Each structure stands twice: as structure tokens, then as C-alpha cells.
Amino acid sequence: MEFIGFVFVQILLVAAAAVVGAICWLVVRRATYQVTIGRSWALLIAFLFPLLVVFYLEAGLFAYGIAEYALGKDSFLNGIYHYPLVNGYQLVIFDKMPEMAYIEQSAGSDTNGVSEVRAVQVAGNLLLVAAHRGRDAFDWGRDKPANAYVAIDTKASTTTDYPTLEALRLDAASRGISLHLTPTDEALSRAASPGWAGRIFLVLLLTPLAVLTVWLLRKLRQLRRRSTVLGQQPHPA
């Protein structure tokens, strides 16, 4: 399914780039209608440029994703993100199935079976968790609301179960904690957002593209000037 989705997105991107390329071709054709030297190349570049931009950006992003994965960092290539909590605990989230997020104490070790996490909050050394516990192997999915509430003492590695969200709220209030659980989707957005390294990479990736665009626009302006000059030349009687 993921491969089919990838192919579908590629087809849409190529189709959109082809449409933009056709528009650019028409604009350049109109702007250089009296130019003969260099016009064919200008028309070809105008049509292909959007396609080349798509492939260039995709290649750059995939290269960055491969580098992140090779360095052991979260990457969109495998779609697994880690949202840090407290005392080494973290929330592991799958971008395609965030409803299957789970809490682990260290890499690769499940912590007390707290899975299908719907929301979590860090309060000192405590983790306050709302999760879903299915009745059978088929009772799971994004539409399943939280029905299990847990407090994890990350210092003692112990858990306390609560029958309802209100019971968790009351116990948290007795400890001086105001309950503000962070939804898993929000945690995923934070974990997947590019850090400073990602932002610097985007700037470096887009800079050559911006320079090339400016250069091509200057070349087009020169062709338009040539077209204007040719149009103003007197015709032989």
C-alpha cells in the first residue's frame, strides 16, 4: 500500500510539474516570439525546469533522510519518531499509525506494556498516560478512544492504574498537578518537525535553486530585450 501511495504521489507531482512547465513554455514563447537564436533552448528549459525542480528537491530530501537514518536519528524513511519524556522514557510513534504509539524506558524495551497511547503528560518524575486497551486482537484503531489511565513513576519504574480519566485527574490534583495531556498526534508533530540541522539543510538545498532561477530569469529578460529590438527595426521596403 505504501508503494502504491508513493507511486500515486509521484504521478501527481509529475503531472503538476508538467502543467506548470506548459504554462512556462507558453509565457516564454509569447515573450520571445521574434527571437530565433536561443529561443528553442529557452522553450525547452521553460518546460523542463519545473520537472527538474521536483526531482532535485526529492533527491535532496531523500539524501537527507538516508543520512539521518544512517546516523541513527529519526527519519521519514522508516516513519518512526521518538518523543522524549523524562528520565530516559520516550514515546515511540509511527507516523502512519500514531494510534499504536507506545512508551519505552530505553531503546527497544517495552515499559510495562503501555501501548496504544492516546495522550501523555510529564509531571516531574511522573508520566500521566491515557491509552487504549483492546478487548481482543481486533479491538484497535485510530477511532478507538482512551479507556485506560496510568501514572508511571519513572524513578521507581512502577505504575498505578485508574478506572477513569476523572480518577487520574483527582489523584494528580492531590499531588498538586494540573492535568494537561498532550495528544499523540501533537507529540508526533513536534517530534517530526525539523530541528536546526534540518532548517540549515533546507536553506542549503534551496539556495542553488534560487540562484539558478534568478539566472534563468535574467536570460529570459535578455531574450525579451532582443525580441523588442528586433520588433523595432525597420522592415525593408
Residue 70, C-alpha cell as written in the block = 544512517
**Residue at grid coordinates 540562484:** 211
Q: What is the edge-to-edge ordering of all strands in the sheet holding 117-123?
A: 158-162, 148-153, 126-131, 117-123, 182-183
Q: What are the phi and psi torsion angles at 162 (to 5°)? A: -130, 140
Q: What is the DSSP string of 137-152?
A: TT--STTPPP-EEEEE
Band (206; pLDDT cuts 50, 70, 90): very high
Same domain for 92 and 59, yes or no, is no
**Residue at grid coordinates 525597420:** 234
Residue 116 is part of which domain span? 80-192
pLDDT at 164 over 70: yes
Same domain for 51 and 88, yes or no, is no
Same domain for 113 and 55, yes or no, is no
Give the pLDDT of residue 235.
45
Give the pLDDT of residue 120.
97
Residue 183 domain flag: yes
Band (237; pLDDT cuts 50, 70, 90): very low
Residue 237 domain flag: no
Total domains, the chain = 2
Same domain for 208 and 185, yes or no, is no
Segment 48-106, tens digit of pLDDT: 999 999 999 999 999 999 999 888 889 888 889 999 999 989 999 999 899 999 999 87
